[in-house]
Structure 1
Amino acid sequence: MFTIDAHLDLSMNALEWNRDLQQSVMAIRNREAGMNDKPDRAKGTVAFPELRKGNIGLVVATQIARFVAPDNKLPGWHSPEQAWAQTQGQLAWYKAMEDAGEMVMIKDKAGLDKHLLLWNNGTPNDHKPIGYISSLEGADSLVTVQHLERAYNNGLRAVGPAHYGPGRYANGTDATGHLNEQGRLLLKEMERLNIILDATHLCDDAFWDAMDLFNGHIWASHNNCRALVDHNRQFSDDMIKVLIEKGAVIGGALDAWMMVPGWIRGKSLPAEMNCTLDRMVDHMDHICQLAGNTLHIGIGSDLDGAYGREQSPADLDTIADLQTIPGLLTKRGYTATDIENIMHGNWVRFLRNAWSK
């Protein structure tokens, strides 16, 4: 089944992990054998051949670069200008992949519809470009609010104002605090440019501020449920309900610690914790019960988001294994229409609505 993945850090993997995503996952693993600079070396799951094998023809692909103040111990860049330069390097990589015929940027309804026709024309996927919607994960790299229009003109279509910790516009996971004045101006500019707000990673204070202030289109590209795994990174039921009211789609994430309670990063193992793709379906099902329908969930895997197989579902070897999800949903009683909604239809409907003009 044609599949959309609403969150992949492709450029980060290419430039910071130095992975040639034109090669197969196995070739990348073989090249990384014996490397230990990162815990996920030789355990990656994402590359272009496996995306095509899994019929994953459209992704939301990130640019990401955090600014860190001197007292912030998270990894990141020491000035907004450095962070901006990093995201521009990431954009250059995406453009290089377009030149190589590997990818194509999708930034409007006409481009979306043309791409969907290509990927559903019944011919093999071997040489089809993978469509990507450009998203900024964490807004720290926007040196000023005015940089947002420059990024929009370069194809940016979604922004998550925060990532982990304190941010220049909004605070994120494991932080607290309301939107600052620049964050409020950022939301106004996003609304003016018709840029999608990605609510993922907003701390609770900033989340509720954004829900009150932002009148544009909202999604949550990769988020699970606090009711099942109690952590501020997840959405509470009240947060999920307001997202449903606003027409959002929420992408199920496959980072193990977000899927099962009690996960200890660096120690727990997926099989021992019964962390399987079915656990993501648990989170999806919880959202469906709150919504009363299947119109607000999709996939936003975040695979290879600074982790690999050591922190992914035990029954997933590569991203191509997302194709086992329809079978899991069928076993739960989901209809064929429900499954199509989850695998791609909800994201397509959302985008067509957001880009209707």
Structure 2
Amino acid sequence: MFIVDAHLDLSMNAMEWNRDLTKSVAEINAREQGLTDKPDRGKATVSLPELRKGNVGLVVATQIARYVASGNPLPGWHSPEQAWAQTQGQLAFYKAMEFAGEMVQINDLETLDRHLVLWENASLSAEKKPIGYILSLEGADSIISMAHLEKAYVDGLRAVGPAHYGPGRYAQGTDATGFMGEKGHELLRKMEELNIILDATHLCDDSFWEALDHFNGPVWASHNNVRALVDHNRQFSDEQIKALIDRGAVIGGALDAWMMVPGWVRGQSDPKAMNCNLEVMIDHLDHICQLAGNCLHVGIGSDLDGAFGREQCPYDLETIADLQKMEDLLIKRGFSTEDVKNILSGNWIRFLRKAWG
């Protein structure tokens, strides 16, 4: 089945991890042997050839650059202007991939429909099919002003998550608390005016509820799991999930092990020892389906190679191509063929058709 992955940090991998994503995962990992600057060196799971191998033909691809004020211990840039420049370098990577024929930007109904027809063409080999990408900004710190957001929209930006980890310029994120305030409200108004999707992922509880109260446009959660299964503020409570369902949102299941199984200790826990496999993602998705009473509000937002690799993802996944295993696993769990198609791609595509219609 065709798969949509609603969260991949491709440009971060290319520009900060220095990975040539046109190569196979095996080649990427071989080149990183002996490197110790990142904990996931030699353990990558994502590349463009592996996406094609797994029939993952459409992704939501991010730009990300955090601003950190003095005293903030998180990694990031010391001014919004530096953060903006970083995102522009990431944009240049995507444009370079377009020029090479490796990727194609999807930013409206026309480009979406054309791309889906291309990938449905069985006579065309996978190697000749570009990976479609919808440009998303993870954390809005790099938006210097609303004029910059307007420019980003012209460049193809179609979704924004106002916060990432910690305190942000427009909202408070994971492990932080507090509200968005007027600056955040201004961002939401401009996003609504431009019809940019609000990504509720990473918003702390206070900012989450405030964002839903002040934003009337389309809302999704690109990569978020369930607090009832793993109790952490990074996850959504049942109340939050129900609110998103009421807004017509789709929530993407993430494959970062610490978000999947309780008790994970980063840098110490082992996926197999913690029984962290793809079935666990289905547990999270099924929980949301039970709250919704249907399977229309879940999808995949893997976050694979989002600053972690095989040391911190399901043990039955070697590369992102193994997302294809989800089809059989879902059917074995009792999901219908129609449900499986919706989970793997249909729900995201339906959401986009409505948001861009």
Q: Aligned-pair distance for 1:146?
A: 2.4
Whole-angstrom distance in 2 between the partners of 1:146 and 1:100: 30
- The range that moved more, 140-149 or 306-315, is 140-149
* CA deviation profile, 1:255-297 (whole Å, cap 9, x unmatched): 0000000000000000000000000000000000000000000
Counterpart contact for 1:288–1:297, Cα < 8 Å? yes
Whole-angstrom distance in 1 between the partners of 2:216 and 2:110: 24
Read off the aligned partner of 1:347 and give its amino acid letter. Answer: W
Whole-angstrom distance in 1 between the partners of 2:73 and 2:49: 36
Read off the aligned partner of 2:32 and give its amino acid letter. Answer: E
**Counterpart position of 2:91:** 91
**Counterpart position of 1:38:** 38
Instruction: Please say if 1:50 is aligned against 2:45.
Output: no
Q: Aligned-pair distance for 1:145?
A: 2.4
* Residues 333-352 of structure 1: pairs in structure 2 closer than 5 A: 333-352=334-353
Whole-angstrom distance in 2 between the partners of 1:146 and 1:215: 21
Read off the aligned partner of 1:135 and give its amino acid letter. Answer: S
Whole-angstrom distance in 1 between the partners of 2:6 and 2:190: 23
Whole-angstrom distance in 1 between the partners of 2:222 and 2:20: 24
**Counterpart position of 1:117:** 117
**Counterpart position of 1:153:** 154
**Counterpart position of 1:80:** 80
Q: Aligned-pair distance for 1:70?
A: 1.1
SS of 1:136's partner is: strand
* Residues 240-251 of structure 1: pairs in structure 2 closer than 5 A: 240-251=241-252
Instruction: Please say if 1:11 is aligned against 2:24.
Output: no
Identical aligned pairs, as a percentage? 72
Read off the aligned partner of 1:294 and give its amino acid letter. Answer: C
Whole-angstrom distance in 1 between the partners of 2:271 and 2:228: 20
Q: Aligned-pair distance for 1:65?
A: 0.1
Whole-angstrom distance in 2 between the partners of 1:127 and 1:325: 25
**Counterpart position of 1:270:** 271
**Counterpart position of 1:199:** 200
Read off the aligned partner of 2:203 and give its amino acid letter. Answer: L
Whole-angstrom distance in 1 between the partners of 2:181 and 2:270: 39
* CA deviation profile, 1:77-98 (whole Å, cap 9, x unmatched): 0000000000000000000000
Whole-angstrom distance in 2 between the partners of 1:279 and 1:311: 13
Instruction: Please say if 1:105 is aligned against 2:123.
Output: no
* CA deviation profile, 1:6-34 (whole Å, cap 9, x unmatched): 00000000000000000000000000001
Instruction: Please say if 1:28 is aligned against 2:28.
Output: yes
Whole-angstrom distance in 2 between the partners of 1:124 and 1:279: 33
Counterpart contact for 1:64–1:138, Cα < 8 Å? yes
SS of 1:134's partner is: strand
Gaps of 5+ in 1: none
Aligned CA RMSD, in angstroms, stands at 0.5
Whole-angstrom distance in 1 between the partners of 2:268 and 2:185: 40
SS of 2:158's partner is: strand
SS of 1:209's partner is: helix
SS of 2:146's partner is: coil
Whole-angstrom distance in 2 between the partners of 1:124 and 1:102: 13
Whole-angstrom distance in 1 between the partners of 2:113 and 2:236: 31
Counterpart contact for 1:25–1:318, Cα < 8 Å? yes
Whole-angstrom distance in 2 between the partners of 1:350 and 1:110: 15
Whole-angstrom distance in 1 between the partners of 2:283 and 2:125: 33
Query: Normalised by the size of structure 2, how large is the TM-score?
Result: 0.99
Q: Aligned-pair distance for 1:100?
A: 0.4
Read off the aligned partner of 2:300 and give its amino acid letter. Answer: I
**Counterpart position of 1:134:** 135
Q: How many residues align?
A: 356
* Residues 289-304 of structure 1: pairs in structure 2 closer than 5 A: 289-304=290-305
* CA deviation profile, 1:302-336 (whole Å, cap 9, x unmatched): 00000000001000000000000011111110000
Gaps of 5+ in 2: none
Whole-angstrom distance in 2 between the partners of 1:219 and 1:23: 31
Q: Aligned-pair distance for 1:181?
A: 1.0
SS of 2:127's partner is: coil
SS of 1:5's partner is: strand
Counterpart contact for 1:178–1:206, Cα < 8 Å? yes
Counterpart contact for 1:145–1:182, Cα < 8 Å? no
Q: Aligned-pair distance for 1:147?
A: 1.2
Read off the aligned partner of 1:165 and give its amino acid letter. Answer: G
SS of 1:126's partner is: helix
Whole-angstrom distance in 2 between the partners of 1:264 and 1:38: 17
* Residues 174-189 of structure 1: pairs in structure 2 closer than 5 A: 174-189=175-190
Q: Aligned-pair distance for 1:127?
A: 1.5
